[in-house]
Structure formats: structure tokens, C-alpha cells
């Protein structure tokens, strides 16, 4: 079937309707992004470093959404304070010196002219070679490619030591920006890892890799699975605690870094 016919008979992607609601909260007014999503099944309120989002399913009225906001005022205040306390580094601005989060550190970032966009590491930190016509899209793509390359380098360093004793190697590796998970293993052996892992301390990243590799032996979280993890990575509890304290911040830091300031 041709691509044209496939597009012709395929249903159109659902359209999101967006607007903004002003909400008085803790002696201040905040903007709440209200989104009507045809795929949503229930009213949902979420908070991240970009702000507050209220998602409405098709049958929910605006009044129901406003009532939901009122009912969750205390929760919303707590979540917003939590994000304000995360102490994220400032977002990157094209052409301005900043910092680049990587492997548990904030590297000084400088800019130099170049024929095409490229991000390199050196003794002074990180250097972004930047073309005269570079755009925000160019920066997002360059940062994404850089983090993917760094992530694959770490996996390539650690993976060989854990392959002995496994029934097989992962079929492939996919790198994603995940909202809650840190990794997953599909039934076909494909492994997915969160790109935010390379921003945290390397031992925590290595633990997640071992965790997913052990699912090649035990496709569950049974005591037998944790015994496999324990055998290969005895310090896994400390790394799990690290994610409980720092995980949310790492994910927020990645999203902010990949969304440069205009």
C-alpha cells in the first residue's frame, strides 16, 4: 500500500484543544495549561518544571475541571514548592556561557564559532561549536545527539562485563525521554533506557542497566529476580535510594536542558 493510500484510510490523529486558566494560589496567581485530550479517560492534574497542566477527557465539562482544581489546591501547592526547591541550573541560552549537566556534574559550557553545530568535551568543560545560522531547533538536536552518544558510550563500557551468564544480549537499545520509568525490556529483548540517566551519577546509571539485563533471566520482580541483581550489583539498594531522592530532579533537568530558553 502506498504511503498516500495509508494516510488516506488511516484515522486522523486526535486534536488537542489548549487554553490557559488563571488560578489564585498561595497569595499568587499562576497559569494552568488546560488541555482537552480525546484520548484521556479521566481528569488529570500534573506539575513539572514547565508549570501546571490540567487534562480533561472529552465528556468532562469546564466546571468539572475547575472543581477538580479547587479540590487539589493543597496537593498543587506542595508539588509547586517541591519543583521550586529542586534548584535546577538555568536553562541554556544560545550564545551565552552556561552549564551542561552530565554524569552528576555541571560542566562549564562555552560557545565558539563553527561551520556546523557540534558539542565536545575537553579539559575546560564543554564547548559548543555554533554556526552563524544556528536556531533553537539546531540546539535541541545537537544536545539530544550529544546525550545519546554519551549514553551509548557508557553502555558500551559496562555491558561486556555483564554479558557472561546472560541467556542472550539485548536485541537492540533505544534511548527515550521517559516520564516515570528509567528503563524497560520488551519481550523481544529490546531494551529502552531513559536519556536522563546520563545526567546522574554513573553508578546509578549502571545499576539501571544491570536491572534491565537481569530481566533477560527473570521477566518479573520476584525474589529470584532480585537475587540476580544482587549477584551482579550488590550496591543496588543505595542506587535505588538515589533515584528516590534525585530522580525527579534528573528528569526535570533533562527536559529543561533539551528546551533552551528563547
pLDDT means per 10 residues, the chain with 262 residues, are 47 71 80 90 81 89 90 84 71 92 96 95 95 93 96 96 94 92 94 97 97 96 96 97 92 88 62
Q: What phi-psi label fits residue 125: left (phi over 0), alpha (psi between -120 and 50 degrees) or beta?
A: left
pLDDT digits (tens, 9 = 90+) for 111-146: 999 999 999 999 999 999 999 999 999 999 999 999
Q: Is 258 helix (H, G, I), strand (E, B) or coil?
A: coil
Rounded CA gap, 244 and 240, in Å? 6
Rounded CA gap, 119 and 108, in Å? 12
Q: What phi-psi label fits residue 244: left (phi over 0), alpha (psi between -120 and 50 degrees) or beta?
A: alpha
Rounded CA gap, 35 and 22, in Å? 14
Q: Which residue has the cell 521517559?
A: 178
- Cβ proximity of 33 and 57 under 8 Å: no
- Cβ proximity of 102 and 119 under 8 Å: no
- Cβ proximity of 183 and 212 under 8 Å: yes
- Cβ proximity of 199 and 253 under 8 Å: yes
Letter string b/e over residues 242-251, b meaning 16 or more CB atoms within 10 A of that residue's CB: bbeebbbbbb
pLDDT at 84 (0 to 100): 61
Please indicate, yes or no, whether the overall pTM of this predicted structure exceeds 0.95. no
Residue 12 grid cell: 486522523
Q: According to DSSP H, which parts of 134-192 are helical? A: 136-162
Amino acid at each position: 500500500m502506498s504511503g498516500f493510500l495509508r494516510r488516506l484510510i488511516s484515522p486522523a490523529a486526535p486534536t488537542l484543544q489548549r487554553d490557559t486558566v488563571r488560578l489564585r494560589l498561595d497569595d499568587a496567581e499562576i497559569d494552568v495549561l488546560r488541555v482537552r485530550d480525546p484520548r484521556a479517560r479521566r481528569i488529570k492534574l500534573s506539575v513539572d518544571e514547565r508549570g501546571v497542566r490540567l487534562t480533561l477527557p472529552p465528556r468532562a465539562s469546564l466546571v468539572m475541571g475547575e472543581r477538580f482544581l479547587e479540590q487539589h489546591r493543597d496537593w498543587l501547592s506542595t508539588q509547586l514548592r517541591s519543583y521550586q526547591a529542586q534548584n535546577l541550573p538555568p536553562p541554556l541560552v544560545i550564545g551565552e556561557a552556561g552549564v551542561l549537566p552530565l554524569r552528576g556534574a555541571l560542566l562549564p559550557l562555552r560557545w565558539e564559532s563553527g561551520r556546523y553545530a557540534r558539542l565536545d568535551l575537553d579539559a575546560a568543560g564543554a564547548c559548543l561549536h555554533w554556526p552563524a545560522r544556528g536556531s533553537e531547533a539546531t540546539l535541541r538536536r545537537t544536545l539530544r545527539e550529544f546525550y545519546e552518544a554519551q549514553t551509548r558510550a557508557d553502555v558500551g563500557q559496562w555491558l561486556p562485563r555483564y554479558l557472561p551468564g546472560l541467556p542472550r544480549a539485548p536485541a537492540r537499545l533505544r534511548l527515550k525521554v521517559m516520564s516515570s520509568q528509567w528503563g524497560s525490556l520488551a519481550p523481544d529483548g529490546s531494551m529502552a533506557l531513559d536519556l536522563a540517566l546520563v545526567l546522574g551519577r554513573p553508578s546509578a546509571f549502571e545499576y539501571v542497566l544491570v536491572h534491565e539485563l537481569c530481566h533477560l533471566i527473570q521477566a518479573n520482580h520476584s525474589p529470584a529476580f532480585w537475587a540476580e541483581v544482587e549477584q551482579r550489583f550488590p550496591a543496588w539498594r543505595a542506587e535505588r535510594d538515589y533515584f528516590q531522592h534525585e530522580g525527579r530532579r534528573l528528569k526535570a533537568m533533562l527536559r529543561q536542558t533539551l528546551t533552551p530558553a528563547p
